[in-house]
Structure 1
Amino acid sequence: MAADRAHEHPGEQAHPQPIRLIAIRQTPLCLAEIFQAVGDEAAGGIALFVGTVRNHDSGADVDGLGYSCHPTAEAEMRRIAEKVVANYPVRALAAVHRVGELEVGDPAVVVAVACPHRGEAFEACRKLIDDLKLEVPIWKHQKFSDGTDEWVGA
């Protein structure tokens, strides 16, 4: 549901720079950093999504995986974030994706969106992660327990 910014209440105008953090990192992701990046006194709801490495895929046991990306990946993340900000009453937004070798349980992607109300925050956060997964050139190389492997998104 797109927000109609003309009907915002005083004090709920969009922050001049609601996109607070966009990054591709080779180091472990810090949930506290991303949560703090979207802090905003006018936000009544913050939705945070953490995508983690699971121990299975399509019935096969996963031992770990590696993520790699195209050099344009971070710019594509920003483009998608800008679309979300344009269509929802976003006060603050952050998105960080990990590349390199990850183990089962590691956070691979974290997105967070702060909006005046929880419903808007949930909707904007879902749109952000869904579009990132669909459009950003990041590839996953899964390593299975049986010695086989698979590229996803390539």
Structure 2
Amino acid sequence: MTKRAQALKAVREMGDDELRDHARAQRRKLFEMRFQQATGQVENHRQLRYIRREIARALTIESENRRTPPDLGDETERTGPAASGHPPAAAPRNSRRRGPSLRRHPSARAQDEQPETPAVETEPDEEDVSLSEVEPGADVDSSEAEEGDADE
């Protein structure tokens, strides 16, 4: 068994009070390590990551124990990565979406929130000339057409 597996097994076998004490001790250790890092006294920088994960592991197991009803105890079958004892598979590093941002500009959001104005129907004027009545190359202005008819 690897060190990590042994540590996980030891943490899983702890009671709730022991888990809280373990997390508290690890937090204290993390504080001391960060202080040492600031002064340049840390020899193993990976130890910081290990302690952070140890704290997260203890808190995760504590929350799992709170969710499990006490009358069922160990009979409850746990699922997911915590049940298998293996950490979840990490996502590939370049899995971020490449392309345009999914966030919208505030002005675009404001336009979406404005209610649509109802369309106003207007009655066509008698003077309006439809396009089917206009000959190609002819002047469309109806006022000039009426004046031209009056001159003849």
Give the structure with the higher percent strand: 1
- Whether TM exceeds 0.5 here: the answer is no
Smaller-chain TM-score range? under 0.3
| Bigger RCO of structures 1 and 2 (CA < 8 A, at least 6 apart) | 1
Task: Decide which structure has the larger Cα Rg and report it.
Answer: 2
TM-score by length of 2: 0.23
